[in-house]
Structure 1
Amino acid sequence: MTVIVVLGGTSMDLVAHVARAPGRGETVTGREFAAVPGGKGTGQAVAAARAGGEVVMIGAVGTDGYGPLLRAHLEQAGVDTGLLHTVPGPSGTAHIVVDDGGARSAVVVPGANGTVTGLGPGERAAIASAGLLLLQLELPAAAVTDAARAARSLGVRTVLTPSPVRPLPEGLLDAVGLLVPDEHEAAALTGFGDPHAAAQILLRQVPEVVVTLGARGCLYAARGEEPVLFPAPEATAAGTAGAGDAFVGTLAAALAEGRAVPESLASASAALCVRRPGASASLPRRGGTEAA
């Protein structure tokens, strides 16, 4: 088992459930509220740890009341938070409204995440000793690119989830070994709505691509090989929050054990996650994924 380093965002998700979302200038009454640890970095780190991985988290939380809660959530899952720095000011937050139709609207305030603009000696040493680096796009682009390039120079495999999707920094994909977009992100990056076509475009820049397709599973494509569709196990969807992070985290844990990508994709983590509502709190543990 090799170490998995996650460089990513942490946030407290402040979730209000309403019959319908308010219009501009309108106030509506909600029926339920929850504050739950979130952020794609948090979700992937927790999922990887619960799947049996040895995980180190790089990022930042604030000096507000949410910082200790976010740190404790990671530590309870077994994640090493020695490089999760506490910086003056607020932690990241996501202000989310979920209506009865399941539509989600969110305002994300980066907070402490915005202070992560590059790597220090400790972060570089952690990446050097790792077997796998997980990245997303919630942190400043300079830090993500810096980490990917450092990993490439050190021979460490990098997995990037291009979310929230945005134009990618020049040279970032050149340092990525495996790209894991969902079908909407793949379309945004390539201009092709068909996942197979989008994957072929992305293979011009990265050697391997996994396009997640929600309840339909995922599509794996690699240079010089025929694409393979991996169906998802049947599941009753209670909510999709965290499904992609569960998938990537569990995939990373399998890769860290030395499994090939196709074998690792047999994980049912994403489908299992949507059986329960919530974000990182709903991520499955290893026994649950292997029983599916």
Structure 2
Amino acid sequence: MTNKITVIGSINMDLVTRTTSLPQMGETVLGSSFLTTPGGKGANQAVAAAKLGADVTLIGCVGDDMFGDQLKRHLQNQGVRTDYIKTVKVETGIASITLANGDNSIIVVPGANSELSVQMVEELEHEIAGSKVLLLQLEIPLATVYKAVELANKHKVRVILNPAPIQLLPKELLQKVDYLTPNEYEQTLLITASQLTATERKEIEEKCIVTKGNKGVSFFEKFFTEVPAYTVEVVDSTGAGDSFNGALAVALGEGKMLQEAILFANAVGALSVTKLGAQTGMPTKEEVTSFLLSIEG
């Protein structure tokens, strides 16, 4: 049976500058290189899942401009279904990324991503209903995310919500998703800012699969478990979390148990940082298999 994954989220063009140090307020520093590369959390996660062999549909919006056309063509070339990417009369979203010493700082301008409406999602209920997993993030309107989760619940489709960029989320939304995938910083804000009772807080914490960079991943399955990170040479950490999320969706869609799915996603995230670019660094299933065999050997 086809492993069908639906991703609803942002589509950006990333404007990437590499430098030796991040500028302080009011400071100018020299960069060593610049490139434009496809990005956006929704698109990144869709590409990650498609490169791992899933049948991936991306629902989103791009602008009626040069970036919009380029991004749709690129996604098609990566094996992502783009039938439900709508072109709107707003500029395509962009992310301005500065890389320095293996770390990054990012400014996102949502643009067309803000036009992804509740109505668009309602019209695509059939697409959600036919999926193994629905994967979402927070670079699109929150009302749209909420409606997508409701529709997935209606059709008993498993939901992964990557709560980034972090914001205050209604507990009704948190309770409707199957898994939350914050990093450590996002988890802290998610739990402390969402006005939860002690019981609700425990329930949400147990849904969290927390990515911790070079410290690995923690999750709950009967008890809290820590999965260590793989040791790799970091070239560009941009998109590592998105690689993890796309891989997690693929593994769960294939029917893997949670711990096995997390181990697989952890390997995908590790491999993704060994190359430059969010999407260009994402590994294929064959590369992941080879990497895991080399570790086990």
Same fold by TM-score greater than 0.5: yes
Q: Percent identity?
A: 38
User: Distance between the aligned counterparts of 2:96 and 2:149, measured in 1?
Assistant: 29
Structure 1 stretch displaced more, 213-222 or 175-184: 213-222
The equivalent of 1:197 in structure 2 is none
> Superposition pairs for residues 1-292 of structure 1, below 5 Å?
1-99=2-100, 101-120=101-120, 121-191=122-192, 202-205=201-204, 208-222=207-221, 225-267=222-264, 268-292=267-291
Hey, what's the Cα distance between the residues in 2 that align with 1:83 and 1:155? Answer: 22
- Find the aligned partners of 1:282 and 1:264 in 2 and give their Cα distance: 20
Alpha-carbon shift at residue 27 of structure 1 (Å): 4.1
For residues 204 and 273 of structure 2, the distance between their equivalents in structure 1, rounded to whole angstroms, comes to: 31
Aligned to 2:295: none
Kindly report structure 1 stretches of 4+ aligned residues shifted beyond 6 Å.
none
Q: Where in structure 2 are there 5+ consecutive unaligned residues?
A: 194-198, 292-297
Residue identity in the other structure for 2:142: A
Give the Å deviation of 1:170. Answer: 4.7
1:203 shift after superposition:
4.2
For 2:47 and 2:181, the matched residues in 1 are separated by 18
Aligned residue type for 2:224: P
Name the CA shift for 1:128/1:182 in 2 (closer, same or farther; >3 Å). Answer: same
Would the aligned equivalents of 2:206 and 2:219 in 1 still touch at CA under 8 Å?
no
**2:161 partner letter:** L
Root-mean-square deviation over aligned CA pairs: 2.0
| Separation (CA, whole Å) in 2 of partners of 1:134 and 1:50 | 16
Deviation digits for residues 167-226 of structure 1 (CA, Å, limit 9, x no counterpart)? 11352112101111111111121249xxxxxxx97542376321112122211214xx01
Supply the distance in 2 between the matched residues of 1:2 and 1:75 (Cα, whole angstroms).
Answer: 18
Which has a greater percent of helix?
2
Deviation for aligned residue 1:108 = 1.2
Q: Distance in 1 between matches of 2:224 and 2:56?
A: 30
Q: Following the alignment from structure 2 to structure 1, what is the Cα–Cα distance between the partners of residues 201 and 274? A: 31
Structure 1 SS opposite 2:118: coil
SS of the residue corresponding to residue 270 of structure 2 reads helix
Measured after TM superposition, the shift of residue 125 of structure 1 is 1.3
Distance 1:8 1:34, change over 3 A: same
Report the number of matched residues.
Answer: 282
Unpaired segments ≥5 residues, structure 1? 193-199
User: Relative to 1, partners in 2 of residues 1:29 and 1:214: Cα closer, same or farther, differing over 3 Å?
Assistant: closer
Counterpart AA for 1:240: S
